[in-house]
Every structure is written in C-alpha cells, then in structure tokens.
Amino acid sequence: MLILLSLLAAYLIGSIPFAVVVSKLMGLDDPRSFGSGNPGATNVLRSGNKKAALFTLIGDAAKGGLVVWAARCFGPTLGLDISSIVLIAVAVFLGHVFSIFLRGKGGKGVATAAGVLLGIDLLLGGAVLLAWIATAAISRYSSLAAVVAAIVAPVLTRAITGSEEWTVGVMAMVVVLLWRHKANIARLIKGEESKIGSKKKDAAN
C-alpha cells in the first residue's frame, strides 16, 4: 500500500504543468496555443518572456529532483527498497509527460528528467546537464541537446552510481523521452528543426 501511495503521489506531483501555471500567473498565452504546443520551458521561451521560461524550467526540474531526493532520504526508513525508489523516480517523470491535469498530455520531459538525475546524484545530474549545455551551445538546437543528453545518461548513471537499478530506471525514462522527441528527430534529419530563441510565430517543434 505504501509503494502504491508513493507512486500516486509522485505521479500527481509530476503532473503539475508549470508551463501552463506560470504562463497563466504571468498573463501570457497558454503555451499549448503556439509554437509546438508543448507545455515546456523551451516553448514558453517562444513567448518572448525569458523569466516565464526560467520559472517553468525551475519548476519542472524541481518537482523531479525533490521527489527523488525525498524518496532516497525517507524511503529506506519507511521500508522502501531501491527498486521502489527507482519506480517513484520514473513515476514523477511520467507524470510530467502524461499529466492527469492536461488529460494525459504533457511536456517532453527534459527538465523533469534533469531534476530526477540531480536527485539521484548531483555529479550525475551535473554531467548530463553539461552534455546538454555543450550540445545546445554548439548547435543551438534544444531537441538535439536533449537527444545527446538522453543517450549519454544511462552510461553516466552506471559509471557514476554503479547501480543497475538506477541505470534501468534511467533507461526507461530515456526511451520515453526519445519517443516524445521523434518528430524533432525527424525534423533534425531534414534540416527543418527550429533553433533556440525562435519566436512562437515561426516555431513548429
């Protein structure tokens, strides 16, 4: 019963759509109404409001990081084993991607996945984040940065944590994240993907 309640709580927290909440509080258009229609920080940035995009990024990452941190800190005391804690981490990520508050739709999971990785291990999260930043800085493609970071994440998880359970959990998130980016990957191959900073009127990713 405890693990089921924990998974439900993690999923509900992950489902909080910070892109929509922040945009509404700041009097901006619903991010689902322009650009890619994706309720995430990259699409909020297309509104031209950098503060809103930053708040969205922080919120989406924080929900993943805090849930995993809490599970790791208090889970063992409550009798949760490592496999249960990994499932909680995956649940908060899936909550973002398939938000109950957005009728099963959601963001692509990059910021929340980053938060989860930071919650697992700060060095791990920092290493994957560095891969994202380096790729984004060189290419100016947020989606390409996400794909590169996703590909290296399981390898770094195994190398840094040495945990098979965490590696499997991260791999599960990576599969979902890459699936959510399949349209972006197709546009990258065709050379049609919009770059970071593209305005909402001309962005389609």
| pLDDT tens readout for residues 78-127 | 999 999 999 999 999 999 999 999 999 999 999 999 999 999 999 999 99
- Cα distances from 183 to residues 21, 40, 177, 193, 205, in angstroms, run 26, 16, 12, 9, 8
The residue whose two tokens read 């804690």 is 85
- C-alpha–C-alpha distance, residues 131 and 133, integer Å: 6
pTM: 0.90
Give the model confidence (pLDDT) of 138-192 as tens digits. Answer: 998 988 999 999 999 999 999 999 999 999 999 999 999 999 999 989 999 998 8
Query: Average pLDDT in the 6-29 region?
Result: 96
The mean-pLDDT minimum among 18-27, 29-38, 109-118 falls in 29-38
Distance CA 122, CA 160 (A): 10
Answer yes or no: is pLDDT of 199 > 70.
no
Residue 156: count of CB within 10 angstroms of its CB? 22
Q: How far apart are the first and last CA of the chain?
A: 40
Distance CA 166, CA 160 (A): 10
Q: What is the 3-state secondary structure (H, E, C) of the chain?
A: CHHHHHHHHHHHHHHCCHHHHHHHHCCCCCHHHCCCCCCCHHHHHCCCCHHHHHHHHHHHHHHHHHHHHHHHHHHHHHCCCHHHHHHHHHHHHHHHHCEHHHCCECCCCHHHHHHHHHHHCHHHHHHHHHHHHHHHHHHCCHHHHHHHHHHHHHHHHHHHHCCHHHHHHHHHHHHHHHHHCHHHHHHHHHCCCCCCCCCCCCCCC
